[in-house]
Amino acid sequence: MRRPPPLAARVAMAVVAMTAVAGLSACGGLPSSTAVQQGSLVGEPLLQPVRVQPDGPAAGATPEQIVRGFLRAGAGAGFDDDHAVARSFFVRSVKDKWQPDSGVKVYGDDSALRVELLTPGTVRVTAAIVAEVDSTGRYRETPAGTLAQATFGLQRLSGGWRISQPPEGFGLWLSARDLDRNYRSFTVAYVSKASQTMVVDRRWFPITAGLATTLARAQLAPVPPYLTGAARTGVPAGTRLSVDSVTVQSGRAVVDLSAVALSADPDLRRAMWAQFLTTLTQVAAVSEVSLEVKGTGLDLPDTPGWVSSLTSLGYQSATSASVETAILRTGSDLTRVFSDRPLDQDRPPKPPNLPASSILPKIPTGWISLALSWNGQEIAGIGGDRADLARWQWDRHFTLAKFGSDLTRPSYDSVNGLWVAGESGGAARVWVIDTSQTPMEKARPRAIPVPWLANRTVLAMKVATDNQRVALITTDRAGGDVQVVVAGIVRSASGAPVSLAAEPLRVGWTLTAATDLAWVDDSTLAVVGRVSPKDAIGPQLVEIGGKITPMPPVAGTRLVTNTGGLRGVVVLTDRGKILARAGNGWQVLQTGTDFLIPGE
């Protein structure tokens, strides 16, 4: 399954003992005469990085220049040769012990670096960093003012100064520009526990000739904690690559696994094939995948020795259909409208004989924060005091008995779940209502355990379109420490929600305020919020496992929803304007108090 390229990259970092400040001049590591060469990639991926070929240690270089040169060499062409030039800055006994893939620290530019000579053989580097990438490819932006620090020991040899004591765990330090050149984000696939679909986790890896091998190694890892219970892997624990390279020939990637893979039953083998296919076909040269165990094909009933589509394995491919119709609320009236046309083009047809089930109810103005079910047959809303929840099924209306306070806007999944969060008994809660129960008056909210919400307040919650994950905005009890998190939904064998994953994944780390959110695609959220406290609240794109990208500002942004994909983001303002993307800005779609999209 080929996926669109992710949002543009901006960050990455190296692991060390750290805290940093500013200012390192670009001396001694990258002369102006340096040649620039294009990196060769297996199968010529869509976006080839431009490799900068750095120089090795210069004769007579000072300790500071040696350290600067090493840092710059780490950002050069070495991604294709295990950083051979960067290793030449070490003494012989140390150069092979350095592990550049142990993590990355990302700084803005060279003005953010500072190199100090502490003693004749000790150099300290400090930097103001903007992001980090850990050894598994997990990315997170860092708050303004985050500092990193690393101290190097050097030894003078006959050929000049060389690094003899690098900081423990030191990986790479890259500028944001170098990260953009050398890294991209990719998804690692897992299998839903509740359906024949894939659940993906975004990571950051360098673009190299061995990209397929890098992705295959990542696929061997267990399900990440925030998806545990919601997703599974078909790869048996302890499975490794039997041959430390994934070969790609004529579009076919051959993954040779260790004998442990043979312990997988047919169901797990099918899942394993689906995972490797989804993950490896992000490499442009790969269109099909073959799994082997020590050179012999990994048998799978009714399947040839290679696969090129998820459907041949019994899994569903990801689809991103756009929603064409919406429901506009103006006061207490509801009207069907087009979801993507401005007001002067909005003339939906009105069939003369609508069935009773198509008649839209009137929603009294005291009910706010409305949500529309995926099948369009039900609307839920919260009372003005945020202590009541009501459901409308066209000509029928039912207000549930009080079960909580400070309730969030409801959210529907597509498997008969109506979700809402709020407070009860002095603690944050998440409830689910089974909308398949009839009559609807019989359905009662059921609290599911979410231990990590202790001492938190939930401001907003939205279920992903895959029904396997939920995104929340929370604060501490005083309204500070704003966090946007994503967690897997653990379901029973019948599909009923049982709990959320025991450990959430925090995203959008640098947001200082957030009030509402919506899912844009399987790895991106649209969030109403801001990074700098000096900025106005507005729409932001938050990549799960990636960066924050501000969207064109909208004054008075109140809510956000989505009709499908990046161009489907819709915002509502406190003045009743409903705006959709148009070019590099926004256009007014409608004027009203709410804009309901199925599933939102």
Q: Is 374 inside a domain boundary? A: yes
Alpha-carbon distance values, 29 to 88, 97, 165, 572 (Å)? 12, 22, 19, 51
The token pair that represents 209 in the structure block: 């000739």
Q: What pLDDT, on a 0 to 100 scale, did the predictor assign at position 224? A: 97
Length of the chain: 600
Pairing of strands 594-596, 524-530: unpaired
Distance CA 188, CA 215 (A): 7
The token pair that represents 224 in the structure block: 């990440």
Cβ-contact 75, 142 below 8 angstroms: no
pTM for the structure as a whole: 0.87
Q: What pLDDT, on a 0 to 100 scale, did the predictor assign at position 459? A: 98
Query: Is 416 found in the same domain as 345?
Result: yes
Helix residue spans in 171-210 (DSSP H): 176-182
Query: Is 422 found in the same domain as 282?
Result: no
Q: One-letter amino acid identity for 504?
A: P
Query: Is 77 found in the same domain as 218?
Result: no
The DSSP string of 48-60 is: PPEEE----PPTT
Q: What pLDDT, on a 0 to 100 scale, did the predictor assign at position 31? A: 35
Q: One-letter amino acid identity for 2?
A: R
Q: One-letter amino acid identity for 241?
A: L
Q: Is 359 inside a domain boundary? A: yes
Distance CA 537, CA 527 (A): 10
Alpha-carbon distance values, 288 to 95, 197, 309, 323, 479 (Å)? 38, 18, 8, 32, 50
What is the distance between the terminal CA atoms of the chain, rounded to a whole angstrom? Answer: 26
Q: Is 31 inside a domain boundary? A: no
3-state SS track over 398-445: EECCCCCECCCCCEECCCCEEEEEEEECCEEEEEEEECCCCCHHHCCC
Choosing from 255, 286, 313, the residue where a domain stops is 313
CATH no. for residue 418? 2.120.10.30
Q: What pLDDT, on a 0 to 100 scale, did the predictor assign at position 4? A: 40
Written as tens digits, the pLDDT of the chain (600 aa) is 433 444 333 333 333 333 333 333 333 333 333 333 333 333 334 456 677 788 899 999 999 999 999 999 998 877 888 999 999 999 999 999 999 999 999 999 989 999 999 999 999 999 999 999 999 999 999 999 999 999 999 999 999 999 999 999 999 999 999 999 999 999 999 999 988 999 999 999 999 999 999 999 999 999 999 999 999 999 999 999 998 899 999 999 999 999 999 999 999 999 999 999 999 999 999 999 999 999 898 988 878 889 999 999 999 887 666 778 899 999 999 999 988 777 655 455 444 444 444 679 999 999 999 999 999 999 999 999 999 999 999 889 999 999 999 999 999 999 999 999 999 999 999 999 999 999 999 999 999 999 999 999 999 999 999 999 999 999 999 999 999 999 999 999 999 999 999 999 999 999 999 999 999 999 999 999 999 999 999 999 999 999 999 999 999 999 999 999 999 999 999 999 999 999 999 999 999 999 999 988
φ, ψ dihedrals at 566, nearest 5°: -65, -35
Q: Is 26 inside a domain boundary? A: no
Query: Is 138 found in the same domain as 49?
Result: yes
Query: Is 347 found in the same domain as 289?
Result: no
Q: What would you measure as the largest C-alpha separation in the chain, in angstroms?
A: 94
CB proximity list for 222: less than 8 A, separation 6 or greater:
233, 237
Pairing of strands 113-119, 122-134: antiparallel
φ, ψ dihedrals at 36, nearest 5°: -110, 130
Choosing from 313, 342, 358, the residue where a domain stops is 313
Distance CA 55, CA 66 (A): 11
Query: Is 220 found in the same domain as 173?
Result: no
Q: Is 190 inside a domain boundary? A: no
Query: Is 389 found in the same domain as 466?
Result: yes
Distance CA 12, CA 328 (A): 43
Q: What pLDDT, on a 0 to 100 scale, did the predictor assign at position 358? A: 62
Instruction: Give the structural domain span for 220.
Output: 210-313
Cβ-contact 492, 472 below 8 angstroms: no
User: How does pLDDT run across 424-446, given as a tens digit for each residue?
Assistant: 999 999 999 999 999 999 999 99
Query: Is 145 found in the same domain as 114?
Result: yes
Burial of 336 by CB count in 10 Å (0-12 exposed, 13-18 middle, 19+ buried)? middle
Domains identified in the chain, total number: 3
Q: Is 11 inside a domain boundary? A: no
SS3 396: strand
Query: Is 248 found in the same domain as 161?
Result: no
Helix (H) or strand (E) holding 84: helix 84-87
Q: What pLDDT, on a 0 to 100 scale, did the predictor assign at position 9? A: 38
Q: Is 52 inside a domain boundary? A: yes
Q: What pLDDT, on a 0 to 100 scale, did the predictor assign at position 319? A: 66
Q: Is 347 inside a domain boundary? A: yes
The reply to whether omega before 224 is within 30° of 0 (cis) is no
DSSP E strands, 294-332: 296-297, 325-330
The token pair that represents 116 in the structure block: 């100090």
Choosing from 313, 347, 362, the residue where a domain stops is 313
Query: Is 232 found in the same domain as 264?
Result: yes
Q: What pLDDT, on a 0 to 100 scale, did the predictor assign at position 481? A: 97
CATH no. for residue 105? 3.10.450
Query: Is 356 found in the same domain as 502?
Result: yes
User: How does pLDDT run across 275-287, given as a tens digit for each residue?
Assistant: 999 999 999 999 9
Identify the sign of the CA torsion 596, 492, 224, 128.
positive
Helix (H) or strand (E) holding 69: helix 63-73
Query: Is 495 found in the same domain as 352?
Result: yes
